[in-house]
Amino acid sequence: MFEILFLGTSASAPSAHRGLSSLLIQHEEFRFLVDCGEGTQRQILTAGVGFKRLNQILLTHGHLDHILGLGGLVSTFLRWDVIEEIEIFGTRHTLDRVHDLIFGVVLRGYQGKPPVILHEIKPGTFWEAERFTITAFPVEHRGSHSLGYRFEERIRRPFLVEAAESLEIPPGPWRRDLVNGQTVTLPDGRVIEPDQVLGEPIKGTSLAVVGDTGNAEKLLPYVQGVDALVIEATYIESEADLAEQFDHLTAARAAGLAARAQVGRLFLTHLSRRYRRRDILNEAQEIFPNVHVARDFDSFQIRREDD
């Protein structure tokens, strides 16, 4: 299961009710910030989720409405000593801009080892934990060398308690090792194979996050079949010419991608102030019913539909 919290859902500039792009994703003890628009640290405080363990930041691209909040966030971390090290991930194009902001302004004159580490990443799997992986994929948006991110739990095999009981496997390290796929030798000398107590493989929960883009078609193989897709819907179809001019999506085109990719749920964000929320919702729902137009501080649990 992944938990998502929308911290900022406005496009380009903040509004009275929406902050700039930022999304918090959590999986058990891991927390990731995806993009960090202006005012993100205040949104974190308002949401009441705190800064603890919030030291991995994934950037979709380097446009200012997605990175300007890094300056204030890093400055606060330094003053409060809440985090010893901050890791920021993105393409070289994105990190060049971040470097100018962080090292040229915030950390200018800073003594000692810099607390910020910039990780250049390219399309492919770059994060592997015991229970899940994160894979970056290419996204087209006005030459910004953008990335999207796919979070995916590893395939697991459930432990069959009844089978273990019938084999008289005692509780303790033997069961733990079997769950981890290891053959065990019991105190009475019997050898037990994992296949004897593990069920059929179950696919884990998956979540894809896309920042700004004007090309939905090229995203199809990367978001295919995810349980949830977070993506922009800056315009509606009546102003599709503006969407194409500025390389953004309409609500209809985002919904069309969700339908073709057979995703479980669609979350629309990066919304223009020129529309009402229901304008975006109505347009998208005509194509893809299971859609939510995100507001700041909306939170959701993402699970597989068959869980």
Domain boundaries, the chain: 2-156+201-302, 161-196
Task: Give the pLDDT of residue 112.
Answer: 79
Task: Give the pLDDT of residue 80.
Answer: 77
pLDDT less than 50: residues of the chain: none
Q: Which residues are catalytic?
A: 65
Residue count of the chain, please give it.
Answer: 307
Distance CA 91, CA 118 (A): 10
Q: Do 122 and 136 meet the contact criterion of CB atoms below 8 Å apart?
A: yes
E-state strands within the chain: 2-8, 22-27, 30-34, 56-58, 86-90, 116-120, 124-128, 132-139, 146-153, 184-185, 191-192, 206-209, 228-232, 265-269, 291-293, 299-302
pTM across the whole model: 0.91
Position of tokens 């194409």?
A: 244
Task: Give the pLDDT of residue 113.
Answer: 80
* Paired tokens of 52: 């603890």
Task: Give the pLDDT of residue 82.
Answer: 66
* Three-class SS state of 54: coil
Q: In what order do the strands lie in the sheet with 265-269?
A: 124-128, 132-139, 146-153, 206-209, 228-232, 265-269, 291-293
Task: Give the pLDDT of residue 307.
Answer: 52
Task: Give the pLDDT of residue 219.
Answer: 98
Say which CATH architecture domain 2-156+201-302 belongs to: 4-Layer Sandwich (3.60)
Task: Give the pLDDT of residue 230.
Answer: 98
User: Residue positions in the annotated binding site for Zn(2+)?
Assistant: 61, 63, 65-66, 141, 212, 270
DSSP annotation of 237: G
Q: Which amino acid is at 89?
A: F
